[in-house]
Amino acid sequence: MKELLLAIDQGTTGTTALVMNAEGQTLARHTVEFKQHYPQPGWVEHDADEIWASVVKSVGVALEKGSIDATRLAAIGITNQRETTLLWDRATGAHLHRAIVWQDRRTAPLCEKLKAEGREKLVRETTGLVLDPYFSGTKIAWMLENVPGARSRAERGELAFGNIDTFLVYKLSGGQEHLTDVTNASRTLLMSLARLSWDDEMLAMLGVPRAVLPKIVPSAGSIATTKGFPGLPDGLPISGIAGDQQAALFGQACFGVGDSKCTYGTGAFALTNVGDAPKPSQRGLIATVAWQVRDRVAYALEGSAFIAGAAVQWLRDGLGIISSAAEVETLARSVPSSDGVVFVPALTGLGAPHWDAHARGILCGITRGTTKAHIARATLEGIAFQVSDLLTAMGDDLGRPLNKLRVDGGAAANDLLMQFQADVTGVTIERPAELESTARGAAMLAGVGVGLFADPADAARMSKVDRTFSPSWDRADRTQAVERWQAAVARAKSS
């Protein structure tokens, strides 16, 4: 009986393969890390062959560890690091250049040039995005200009461009398919958010020929089938695709307007469902596609804090306050409060809604009585305050405050952080039984796409709440804490 789902979660530092049943239980899991390449300061690259090797190995080991018969698999779901950009030969599959990773900043001069030309308003109106090196469009423009022969070959239709989802489908299908789902397409700077199609003005602005682009498809449905993948039968449906944050939103069953989630990883990524039409943000958030299931499209607003779990890593690696990330909660709990200490974790600038790349981290309110425990507690609180800023911006854009936030990611396991998040926002926090919401979302989409689930609501049985954190502060306490945070942020900003 074909009742199992394989989720391939291709992330920034490694690939995780999970096998889940229709109830959302993980039966097998394996992660394979791969090398990060830093050819110049500010440049970050991945080798496509190394990514693919990590996919093959993670799937093979997961099936072996779980003693999973591959013939029991009903479908494959893919979720991926977004914006990371590849260019390869259609005939041979050989990549022309290492993948340019979403973190890469080499295209900052091009973004500044386009801003100076007054292009940003049109970009935001068309794509929902901002002109930033983060997104794929300027990355592919760089490749076409800097890889010898790339532009002429692209114009002749010899080359294929794609984010990592496109590359994985191409490889999984034995080179038969060149496509991307709407969530990944919405991160390229090349797609009209309203029409869900490649936009001629954006293509002309960045000099990207249509011949290089993949076909845009829904996030669930008859997308592709496997061919020649080690250990998997040919013809296995690939029936679900979504970028990692959209997959987590789906995995948390955020199907109604205002339903919101936050993933606490290296950074913190908050998304809220805004319904069946794109909603421009007035508060510095990004508009994006949440998913498309058959002909029904959901949109989202997204905000990101660049530093979340990375702040705890800094306590460990930079300051030596803790020897492992797991120690931070115990240390922070050893004091009843931060005693007025505030940490703004702007270690790589401030993301939404501030968008200040030159802001710097600040630790203030220190006295002779300050201990490492107070600093640890202030660090966790700083993560929660950043997310609180995102939720406030989302509530303002929606015209009503959020009343619930679903959480996932490694740092969401920290009970103290989750309780403080509830207290400082006044929002109830729901944490699932399994924190693998990204992979679960890909599996849910695949299940819907192959008919294992009738619709998203039916797939939601895979998403189960483990614990709820309710706000315990009154309005005066919350206001005082937020004002103290805002004063610290003002000091951290570059101007």
Whether residue 316 lies inside any domain: the answer is: no
- CA distance to 44, 350, 384, 454, 494, per residue, from 104 (Å): 5, 17, 26, 40, 22
User: What confidence score (pLDDT) does residue 53 get?
Assistant: 95
Rounded CA separation 466/315 (Å):
29
- Measured in Å, how far apart are the chain's first and last C-alpha atoms? 62
Whether residue 143 lies inside any domain: the answer is: yes
User: What confidence score (pLDDT) does residue 43 get?
Assistant: 85
Domain count, the chain: 1
Whether residue 88 lies inside any domain: the answer is: yes
Whether residue 422 lies inside any domain: the answer is: no
Whether residue 63 lies inside any domain: the answer is: yes
Give the H or E element holding residue 168. Answer: helix 164-172
**Tokens 């080179």, residue located:** 175
> Residue 339: pLDDT above 70?
yes
Print the domain residue range for 146.
4-244
- C-beta separation of 56 from 34 below 8 A: no
Cβ-in-10-Å burial (0-12, 13-18, 19+) of 365 comes to middle
Average pLDDT value for residue range 70-80? 95
pLDDT in tens, 372-426: 999 999 999 999 999 999 999 999 999 888 889 999 988 899 999 999 999 999 9
Percent of the chain with pLDDT over 90: 72
Give the lowest-confidence range in 197-201, 442-446, 453-457. 453-457
Whether residue 152 lies inside any domain: the answer is: yes
Give the domain CATH number at 82. Answer: 3.30.420.40
Closest CA relative to residue 162, chosen from 141, 175, 178, 186: 178
Average pLDDT value for residue range 359-375? 93
Average pLDDT value for residue range 100-125? 89
Q: How confident is the model at residue 1 (pLDDT cuts 50, 70, 90)?
A: low
User: CA neighbours within 13 Å on the CB side: how many for 235?
Assistant: 1
User: What confidence score (pLDDT) does residue 7 get?
Assistant: 96
User: What confidence score (pLDDT) does residue 77 get?
Assistant: 97
Whether residue 213 lies inside any domain: the answer is: yes
pTM of the model: 0.89
Tokens of 305: 């804090």
